[in-house]
Amino acid sequence: MRFLHTSDWHFGRTLHGTDLREAYEMWADHVVGLAHTHDLDAVLISGDVFDRGIPPVSMVRLLSETLQRLAEVTTVIITPGNHDAPTRLGFTAGLLKDNVVIATDPSQVGTPVQVRRNGEPVGYVYALPYLEPDIDRFRLALDPQSPLARSHEAVVGAAIDRVAENIEHTIANHPDQAELPRVIMAHEFVVGGQPSQSERDLHIGGVDSVPSALFDIRIDGKSVIDYVALGHLHGPQQVHAEPPMRYAGSPLPFSFSEEHHTKSSVLVSIEHAGAVPDIELIPAPVYRPLATLRGSFDELISAQYAQFHDHFVRIYVTDIDRPDRMLARLRHYFPYVLEAHHDIGLKQLASYDLNPAKIDPREILVEFFVSAGGRELTPDELALITAQWEELGKVEK
């Protein structure tokens, strides 16, 4: 089985109010191109295809067109994340073609999507929609009168139990299918993942993460899950656990905390059940790079920073005095500036930051202004402090 693992498309999201429609269109063309050139059996989208429950019409149209294009050459499997509204995302699920699946029903987590190549099954995908503890603790409980614990671990664990039951039944009753690879899709914060600042919190009832061991389904001591396709965290990364599991990450950066991410999708090839997946990270197209710049105003507008003219930039201007019309003038050199800060390096000091060994209190004041004010006192300022100190000394005497 050969598939492309993606997640967190977040169609409709902006970056500091900037419209990213062209970036989403670029990403959609990229994924369709990979489906054509890499002979994919499936494209997985592990949650948050939209950024909110009621997405812009233009983004609904873009997703619809993208799915139509992908369905011509491969199977597409989508699960909702914590941003999507499962009911709205899945309202057409019953009308879709066999090779476009939107898995929104938690009660069906134990029923896999059978991925086919030329009509023959090549693998199974267990697609878990984002599970809301407050709701799914009742829906996934064996007895609705005895709900599960109010945590992500409890509801995801119950869903995985259903997956395990299906796998055990399949292996026992269909030995010819025992060697087909099995993949789980999930939109969760798995312990060991490294978050950024742009993911919406999954914090529910004080328990917002799930252990990776939940996904390690074993039958007769043998792991029967070959890959876990995770969504939610925006940085592409491997979670070091068995079975192999990765976050595909978002295709676009949505905050400056993602400035140094290398966005990508995951091309996964699995020969048979139990085989080590072959993993290839395919870089995502870069619409406009992010950069953080820091320096004096004159430095920033010099040729030294000309290379960032077409970047989305966050700028820290370090002049002691705030430059006149700072933002307007910066926009002349950096048309895509998203943040501009006047930052002179002020910091909050504790008493132990100062040297108590100083005998002359004026020296302590000089040290304080250098540490907290970012500059030394001018001769006139030092003379004024000296005069005031001497005057105070006369009063005390």
Answer yes or no: is pLDDT of 321 > 80.
Answer: yes
The residue with tokens 């389904």 is 217
What percent of the chain has pLDDT above 90? 71
Q: What's the confidence (pLDDT) of residue 339?
A: 95
Q: What's the confidence (pLDDT) of residue 195?
A: 74
What is the C-alpha to C-alpha distance for residues 196 and 367, in angstroms, rounded to an integer? 37
Cβ atoms of 316 and 297 within 8 Å: the answer is no
Per-residue pLDDT band at 53 (split at 50, 70, 90): confident
Quick one: DSSP state of residue 201?
A: P
Highest mean pLDDT among 13-27, 78-92, 190-204, 208-222: 13-27
Cβ atoms of 378 and 370 within 8 Å: the answer is no
- Extract the runs of DSSP E, i.e. beta strands, from 162-210: 182-187
167-210 pLDDT, tens per residue? 999 999 998 888 999 999 999 999 877 777 766 555 444 357 89
Q: Return the percent helix, strand and coil in the chain, to nearest 5.
A: 35, 20, 45
What is the C-alpha to C-alpha distance for residues 380 and 363, in angstroms, rounded to an integer? 15
Q: How many other C-beta atoms can be found within 10 angstroms of the C-beta atom of residue 9? A: 28
What is the C-alpha to C-alpha distance for residues 121 and 114, in angstroms, rounded to an integer? 6
- What is each CA distance from 220 to 58, 168, 224, in whole angstroms? 50, 10, 10
More confident residue, 17 or 344: 17
Q: What's the confidence (pLDDT) of residue 136?
A: 92
Per-residue pLDDT band at 279 (split at 50, 70, 90): very high
375 dihedral zone (left: phi>0; alpha: psi -120 to 50; beta): beta
Beta bridge partners of 263: none
Residues in the chain: 397
Helices first, then strands: H and E counts in the chain: 9, 17
How many degrees, rounded to 5, is the angle at CA 222 between CA 220 and CA 223?
Answer: 130
Q: Which residues contact 19 (CB under 8 A, 6 or more apart)?
A: none
Contacts of residues 211-218 at CB distance under 8 Å and 24 or more positions apart, as own/partner, are 211/153, 212/239, 212/241, 212/245, 213/241, 214/153, 214/156, 214/157, 214/160, 215/160, 215/184, 215/186, 215/190, 215/241, 215/243, 215/245, 216/241, 216/242, 216/243, 217/160, 217/163, 217/164, 217/167
What is the C-alpha to C-alpha distance for residues 294 and 60, in angstroms, rounded to an integer? 39
Q: What's the confidence (pLDDT) of residue 318?
A: 95
Q: What's the confidence (pLDDT) of residue 374?
A: 55
Both tokens of 57, joined, read 């019409």
